[in-house]
Amino acid sequence: MGVFEMPEFDRHEEIVFHQDAGTGLRAIVAIHSTLLGPAAGGCRMWAYLSSSDAVSDVLRLSRGMSYKNAMANLAFGGGKAVIIADPKRPKTPELFEAYGRFVNSFGGRYITAEDVGTTTADMENVARQTRYVSGLARHAGDVGGDPGPKTALGVYLGLKAAVKFRLGRPDLQDLRVAVQGVGGVGYHLCRLLAQDGARLIVADVRAAATERAAEEWGAVVVAAQDIIHQDADVFAPCALGAILDAQSIPRLRAKVVAGAANNQLTLDRDGLALHSAGVLYAPDYVINAGGIINVFHEYHGVSSEAQVQAAIAGIPARLTDIFERSRRENRPTNAVADELARARIEVGHSRLVA
């Protein structure tokens, strides 16, 4: 199957494959849209089973970034990069410098940042070769750096809005939250939830991560394959996507899904399955926008921490608008969010060219 025939292809503007023999870099950048501004999105490094899987992932992720940036009212389009990791070769500064040269070749049409499998230190190496990178602490005291805590803050605020809407709960005291993935975002989300008195159930493929959660917050640790089916009020996926499908949804016991992972639905129709089952789904690219909001303000270098916090605080209102429209029209929340995102892209583009 060719790229244009893939179900994940959605009128993407550009897809570029790149290889650097000296460092072993194999990377793909997908630019979904630049209608609202340069395409912005992180760089994921993963040991994909095939190049086809990598293409599928970068297509889905880049479209999600277009929608995420539009819903967050950012002057960014949507793009994403993936680096196909070789388990036999460790990451090196030289590999990320080569990736930086690749990013630089787009001349500013694509702005990169960290994502799953990459770090702030990796982006520092990228920045040696290009200025089109964010997720850096550019100046002491400025906004910037690791976007994970800001993503967690947005998810925390959005989760509270979803709990209030679906469960009628004004607070999180003794609320049972099953968190899948206790890494760069999930850890910070757990900290915020625990501070509000939530009871945590956690899973991660790394034993050290779950042991830390158990020690710090008394979290109950379960096997990674069992976390989605726990007796919890909220399921918060904070690892990889495509975890809600025809097999997992019928066994889901939570009434709210609100987490940081991208592309949580395997297929669009899985949103309908959640809606039909009475599960309130917080569309991932709306609730997890805190990181890209931070990236936007850092990249333009004109904002304070208070301004970033205020921008992230807008996430619950956007989610509640989606929830109310979903209930009023009896439509899945993901369908409502997609429609709103496409409309914002079109309206925003019209204003830019007027």
CA–CA separation, 156 and 159 (whole Å)? 5
- What is the 8-class DSSP label of residue 112? B
Tokens of 32: 């979904």
88 a catalytic residue: no
Tokens of 57: 């992932």
Question: Which CA distances in Å does 168 have to 161, 174, 175, 256?
Answer: 10, 14, 12, 12
Q: Which of 68, 80, 150, 160 is catalytic?
A: 80
Q: Write down the H helix ranges in 76-222.
A: 93-104, 120-126, 148-167, 186-195, 207-217
The helix (H) or strand (E) run that includes residue 67 is helix 51-71
CB 337 within 8 A of CB 67: yes
CA–CA separation, 71 and 65 (whole Å)? 10
Give the residue numbers annotated as catalytic, written as ranges.
80
